[in-house]
Structure 1
Amino acid sequence: MKEILSQTKKTDALFAPQDRSADDLGHEPLVSLNDCCRLTSLSRTAINRWRSLGMFPSAVALGEKRIAFVRSEVEQWVRDRIAERDRAALRKTETKSN
């Protein structure tokens, strides 16, 4: 039970409203690949596939085997997917009315 509560707190913290401003050095907040998966509801494999196609935000190398993503870029990518869905629905509606 303790483990479930711990995971719930981590997930809640991930989606909680956060200060979107850059830190004192001008850096934007980064998120791990696992957090990126939670933000997009995609698997690691799917994210890596999109990355290999150049259709996902570029990763920031933090070390030899560690990457992260700029949170605002991932959020924008999600907003872009939503906008594409809305445009497709609008086109479909316009086509039906003609």
Structure 2
Amino acid sequence: MKLIRIKEVMNRTGLARSTVYKYISENNFPKPIKLGSRAVAWVESEIEGWINDVIHERDRGQPEPNT
């Protein structure tokens, strides 16, 4: 299991820091793990899963391309 910090989360998702925390407050994003009094990190596989879910939602209901 690998933990990643906010800058890496932002790089991977394309989200701004404020959007990450907004989505967390709306229960639409993985919650961070507290590492210390002022440090948090996310489980890398949970972030990857969230990205895959967003891609799946985008593709759901889309017609198959004609070949």
Same fold (TM > 0.5): yes
Q: Which residue of 2 aligns with 1:43?
A: 16
- The SS at the match of 2:41 is strand
Q: Which amino acid in the other structure matches residue 46 of structure 2?
A: E
RMSD value over aligned CA atoms?
Answer: 1.2
What percentage of residue pairs aligned between the two structures are identical?
A: 33
Aligned to 1:5: none
Which amino acid in the other structure matches residue 7 of structure 2?
N
The equivalent residue for 2:43 is: 70
Looking at structure 2, the residues matched to 43 and 76 of structure 1 have their Cα atoms a distance apart, in angstroms, of 18
Query: Hey, which of these two has a bigger chunk of helix by percent?
Result: 1
TM superposition shift of 1:87: 0.2
**1:1-98 equivalences in 2 (<5 Å):** 28-90=1-63
Unaligned ranges ≥5, structure 1 = 1-27, 94-98
Point out the structure with max Rg over C-alpha: 1
What is the number of equivalent residue pairs in this alignment?
A: 64
Whole-Å Cα distance in 2 between the matches of residues 56 and 89 of structure 1? Answer: 24
- Between 1 and 2, higher relative CO (CA 8 Å, sep ≥ 6) is seen in 2
- TM-score, normalization: structure 1? 0.62
